[in-house]
Amino acid sequence: MQDARDLQEIQEKIYPPMVEGVYDYGTVTDKISDITLKKRTPYGWFIGFGISFIVAQLLLLTVTLLFVQGVGIWGNNQPVGWAFPIINFVWWIGIGHAGTLISAILLLLNQKWRTSINRFAEAMTLFAVACAGLFPILHTGRPWLAYWMLPYPNTMAMWQNFRSPLMWDVFAVTTYATISLLFWYVGLIPDIATLRDRAKNKYFKVAYGLLSWGWRGSARHWHRYEIAYLLLAGLSTPLVLSVHSIVSFDFSVSQLPGWHATIFPPYFVAGAIFAGFAMVLILCIPLRVWYNMKDLITDTHLIYMGKVMLATGLIVVYGYAMEAFFAWYSAAPYERYMMYNRMFSGPYWWSYWLLILCNGISIQFLWFKRFRESPFWLFVISVVVSVGMWLERFVIIVTSLHRDFLPGSWGMFAPTIFDWSMYIGTIGFFFALIFLFVRMLPVISIFEVRTLLPDAKVEHHGHDHEHSGQGSVGN
C-alpha cells in the first residue's frame, strides 16, 4: 500500500497533470469552445486584431509599390543580393517548425503535454509558412511569373533545373505547407463537429457542418482516424527535418565562405525549433491569461517549452562555435578572413555579438528555476531569442556576401524603409491571422484534452486484454 502510494507520488512528479482544475468532458468542451461560440467578442480582441490589421497594411502598401517600381525599392544590390527577403524567409519558415515538432515529434514520443498547445502551434506554422512563402516569390523580381518554378509542359519547351537547391526549396516548402495544412485540418475535424453540435446560430451551424464533413465520432472512423493521424505524424517528422535542411542547402551547397559548411543542416534545424518555441511562448503566454486558460496551458507547459528552448539554443550556440572552428581549421584564407571579418574587423561586427548576446547569453538564464518558472521572464527571453534568430540570418547572409572574393566587388548593405515596412507588415499579417484563428476555431484540441481527463481511462473489467490508455493516439 505504502509502495503503491510512493509510486503514484513519483509518477506525479515525473508526469505532472496536464489539466489542472476539475473538469469533465462537458465543462472542458464548454471552456474551449466558448471562446469561439460566445456571441460577444471581447474588446481586447478588437484592439489586438485592429493593430495587427493596420500593421498588415504596410505589407500591402509595400507589395503594391514593389509591383509598380520593382525590387529597386529594397536595399538589395551587388554584392548583397539576398538581404532582407531571404533573411525574413528563413526566419519565418524557421518559426513554423516548432508547430510541426510539437504536433508530430512530441506525438510520436508520447509526450502528453503537447495536447493543449499543438493546435495553435500548428496554426502558427501555417501562418508563418504563409508569410515565409511571400518573400522568395517577391524576391524573384517578377512574382507574376512565379509559376515558372513549377514543372509543367510549357510553350518554351524548357524544364527547371532540379540540380539547383532553389528548386529543392520549391518542393520542400510547398510540401511542407500542404502537409501542415492537412495535419492541422485533420486534427480540427472532430472539434469542428463539436462546434457544429453546440452552435446556436443557424449560419455557423451550417458552416461548421460543412467544415466537419459530417463527422459523427463513429468507432470505425476513430480507428482509421487515429491510424491516419499517427502516420501523418510519422511523415511530418522527417519532413520537418528535411525542410530546414533543404533551406540550409540554399546556402551550404554554394561555394561561398560563410555558407559552404557541412554543419548547416542540423544547425539550421535546431535554430528553427529554437525560434519556433520562442514564438509559441510569445503567443501562448498572453493567450492563456486573456482567455483565462491557465488550467489547460499550465505553468508546467511553459517550463517544458523553456527547457526545449534551452536545449535547442545550446545546439545553436554549438553551431556558432563550430562555424568559427571550421573556418580556422580549414586553413583556407578566404574562410578565415570571412570569420575574422564577421567577428572583429568587419563593419558588421556588432551584429555578430548582438546575435551571441541574444541567442547565447540570454538563454543561460533558463538554467535557473526563477526565470524558467516565471512567465514574464520566459516571454522576455522569447522575444530576445526571436530577435536573435533574425540576427543570425542577417549575419549569415549579409556578412558572407558583403566581402566578395575580390576587393573590387566589396560593398555594403543598408536596408531601406521598404525593407522594414515589408518585414513589419508580415508580422502584422501573421498576428492578424492568429487573432482570426483564435476567434473562429478552437485554439486547443478539445477531443485530445478529453482523453487526458481521468475518466477517459477504461477501468479493468475482468477481461484480460492489454490496456494501452497512454496518450491520445496509439495503436
What residues between 228 and 247 interact with other proteins by CB under 8 A? 228, 231-232, 235-236, 238-239, 242, 246
Q: Is 226 in the site for other proteins (CB under 8 A)?
A: yes
Q: Is 202 in the site for other proteins (CB under 8 A)?
A: no
**Cα–Cα distance measured from residue 226 to residue 473, given in angstroms and rounded to the nearest whole number:** 6
Q: Is 225 in the site for other proteins (CB under 8 A)?
A: yes
**Cα–Cα distance measured from residue 343 to residue 353, given in angstroms and rounded to the nearest whole number:** 7
Which positions ≥6 away from 385 have C-beta within 8 Å?
274, 275, 278, 309, 313, 358, 359, 362, 363
Select from 210, 361, 412, 417 the one that contacts other proteins (CB under 8 A).
Answer: 210
Helical pair 165-198 and 219-252, crossing angle rounded to 10 deg: 150
Which range binds other proteins by CB under 8 A, 282-290, 360-368, 403-411, 446-454?
446-454
Q: Is 457 in the site for other proteins (CB under 8 A)?
A: yes
Find where cell 560563410 sits.
258
Select from 16, 79, 209, 360 the one that contacts other proteins (CB under 8 A).
Answer: 209
Q: Is 455 in the site for other proteins (CB under 8 A)?
A: yes
- For residue 448 the three cell numbers come to 485530445
Which range binds other proteins by CB under 8 A, 2-10, 35-43, 166-174, 416-424?
166-174
Name beta bridge partners: 339.
none
**Cα–Cα distance measured from residue 96 to residue 404, given in angstroms and rounded to the nearest whole number:** 32
**Minimal distance in Å, beta carbon 222 to other proteins?**
4
**Cα–Cα distance measured from residue 213 to residue 198, given in angstroms and rounded to the nearest whole number:** 16
Alpha-carbon distances, residue 337 vs 3, 325, 412 (angstroms): 64, 13, 17
| Cis peptide upstream of residue 79 (ω within 30 degrees of 0) | yes
DSSP for residue 346:
S
Other Cβ atoms less than 10 A from the Cβ of 304: the count is 20
- CB of 202 or CB of 461, closer to other proteins: 461
Q: Is 465 in the site for other proteins (CB under 8 A)?
A: yes
Q: Is 168 in the site for other proteins (CB under 8 A)?
A: yes
**Which one, of 438, 432, 433, lies nearest residue 34 by Cα?**
438
Which range binds other proteins by CB under 8 A, 34-42, 157-165, 303-311, 361-369?
157-165
Q: Which of residues 346-385 bind other proteins (CB under 8 A)?
A: none
Find where cell 484592439 sits.
47
Q: Is 163 in the site for other proteins (CB under 8 A)?
A: yes
Q: Is 4 in the site for other proteins (CB under 8 A)?
A: no
Which range binds other proteins by CB under 8 A, 95-103, 128-136, 377-385, 449-457?
449-457
Q: Is 193 in the site for other proteins (CB under 8 A)?
A: yes
Q: Is 38 in the site for other proteins (CB under 8 A)?
A: no
**Cα–Cα distance measured from residue 148 to residue 48, given in angstroms and rounded to the nearest whole number:** 38
Select from 8, 24, 110, 321 the one that contacts other proteins (CB under 8 A).
Answer: 24
Q: Is 118 in the site for other proteins (CB under 8 A)?
A: no
Q: Is 294 in the site for other proteins (CB under 8 A)?
A: no
Query: Binding-site residue total for other proteins (CB under 8 A)?
Result: 75
**Which one, of 178, 31, 171, 16, lies nearest residue 100 by Cα?**
178
**Minimal distance in Å, beta carbon 103 to other proteins?**
13
Q: Which of residues 88-117 bind other proteins (CB under 8 A)?
A: none
**Minimal distance in Å, beta carbon 154 to other proteins?**
11
